[in-house]
Amino acid sequence: NAGVMQNPRHLVRRRGQEARLRCSPMKGHSHVYWYRQLPEEGLKFMVYLQKENIIDESGMPKERFSAEFPKEGPSILRIQQVVRGDSAAYFCASSPLSDGYTLTGELFFGEGSRLTVL
Amino acid sequence: AQTVTQSQPEMSVQEAETVTLSCTYDTSESDYYLFWYKQPPSRQMILVIRQEAYKQQNATENRFSVNFQKAAKSFSLKISDSQLGDAAMYFCAYKETSGSRLTFGEGTQLTVNP
């Protein structure tokens, strides 16, 4: 019974390159959330997606960042033209219900993808 | 906007003793969820305990318990009989009942001394 799977666990990019982070939710979950954790900080909400729909992207930077959750395959967080300030841990979480959470309000997190921009 | 504040960047405790981590939050909502998550060095986010605001009884999970003071908007975590494996970063988090996001505090780094 696999949990939320994220890959790659570690990604190194040079400034100006593109970073793609993938997230496969738990089996039976159709709602995905992306959070970013900058060094020495808590997690900050970025975007909430359902299959083929972006529900809430109010936490996403306006430029260079995009997210998708296609009908088939994992959710992708894409960062174009990365800068050093993008270096962070990016966490994906999933839940099964239409309001985005279980009845207990819980999200299930992956182990995160650590992006380092040189 | 909701905010979550953890005023203790670092705490330490002796093995087998008890420690309390503080958390306060700001909201105008009457119903919501509160959580404590643990993040060990592996960086996995692990749910420790949850509390529904409409419940007056404080949540308890084995050695972990909370002191939920709704009027004061306070939600502290008590860890009893601390173990070396409890060493981690602990995050307090808030979620509206109908909302789609968790709001996290900045975290408290807990060290457990043998």
Is the pLDDT assigned to residue A101 strictly greater than 50? no
Is the pLDDT assigned to residue A75 strictly greater than 70? yes
For residue B111, name the pLDDT band (cuts at 50, 70, 90). very high
Interatomic CA distance for residues B40 and A4, integer angstroms: 17
Mean pLDDT of A38-49: 90
Interatomic CA distance for residues A9 and B18, integer angstroms: 34
| Average pLDDT in chain B | 92
What is the DSSP pairing of strand A75-79 with strand B88-96? Answer: unpaired
Interatomic CA distance for residues A34 and B87, integer angstroms: 26
With CA atoms as reference, the chain B residue closest to A31 would be: B100
Quick one: pLDDT at residue B1?
A: 64
Interchain contact, A111 vs B107, CB within 8 Å: no
Helix (H) or strand (E) holding B19: strand B19-21
Interchain contact, A109 vs B45, CB within 8 Å: yes
Query: Is the Cβ–Cβ distance between A4 and A92 less than 8 Å?
Result: yes
Instruction: For residue B107, list chain A residues with Cβ-Cβ distance below 8 A.
Output: 41-42
With CA atoms as reference, the chain B residue closest to A111 would be: B44
Interatomic CA distance for residues B95 and A33, integer angstroms: 14
**Which of B4, B7, B25, B45 to mutate to probe the A interface, most A CBs <10 Å?**
B45
Is the pLDDT assigned to residue A52 strictly greater than 60? yes
Give per-residue pLDDT as tens, B45-65: 899 999 989 888 999 999 999
Mean pLDDT of A84-107: 76
